[in-house]
Structure 1
Amino acid sequence: IAQYMATVARNRLRQKAVPTAKAVPRAAAKAPNKEAPKAKVDKRLFLRLEKEHPWRQLSPSGIRRQIRDGLQCSLSSACSIHRLRTSFAILTGSENIRERLLDAAPKLSDFNAKLEEASKLVAFRIANVPATIKSLDCAHTVDGEWISLEIYRKTRQFPIMVRLHGTCRLEAPYRNWEALFARDSVL
């Protein structure tokens, strides 16, 4: 034991280096000076076509030619046409051209096409809502009305429409819902 104590005294008790945490002062949270960004107004026009419509195969320049021939209204070079999944989007450079296209839009019904403004609705997706809620008495099936009431309870706004989002199996325990609100009420 004496020899052991001599070794300990000579080498001293070695301790492992333990990192010490130093207190770092945190910066005080700054109040945001910026105003909330205003919602952008969608100025696009949408050319809606049926599923098997021959115009769906056309390029944007072909759509430009068909609109020019069908409406007897020339689209200026300031207009841009973009292909979407279900339609074409037309972005006009000036309000004058946009109004002229909307005024001439009923002529497109002869070609089974429809020109319309962007929707005034905003969609919110509500994911993973249980299909049923079990209480002590019974099990309640969650439907659109129940979702609407729950949204109103949280936000004090009723949605315009609530519907199932996507496809889901009937026996699935969770479902996805979509709630549509007026764009003005969301701001």
Structure 2
Amino acid sequence: MPYDTPNDPDRLRAWLLAAARRDARAFHALYVATSPKLFGFALRILRKHELAEEALQDAFVSIWHAAGTYQAELAAPMTWMAAIVRNKALDILRRTGGAPDIDVARFDVEVMDNLEDTGPGPADLLQSSAEARALAHCMAALERAHRQAIGLAFFHDLSHSEVAQQLALPIGTVKTWIRRGLLKLKTCLAREGL
């Protein structure tokens, strides 16, 4: 079943109302459509995948049981579900003796701002950030000449011949440096789990 508009409040509201009538298929659709974004919110609070998964699972159990109490006039469906996820995440922090690494009040404002955003969610941004750090680490491990050639080719979008002109080198040398550098990057990124 395609979920092309996961943030459509009307669709989410319909699934919540159906879940209140114990419609498991509607609840599954609600989960598939909203869990990635809600997981990202839990992950931003808890910083550990396993704890965020636990918070998300606890939240969806609560959503299943409390779906009949949802009041559309008080909150949008994602706002209501995000509040449940937030509370479950904070419960886990209290239980494990942790303290949030974030300003919870500011986080709440960011959550509300991001609920309507169809761009990358917090989990996506966290993953992108980890990938960027790994790439920077691996780039720093390259020989200076390889790093410079790759940087000009990929980050400045220059052709091999343009890179050769910039570096005043034969094009064959530039191609070799880029190829070798990319092989080293691939190996390094594989070691980083990417």
TM-score between both structures, scaled by the size of structure 1? 0.24
Which structure shows the bigger proportion of residues in helix conformation?
A: 2
TM-score between both structures, scaled by the size of structure 2? 0.24
Which structure shows the bigger proportion of residues in strand conformation?
A: 1
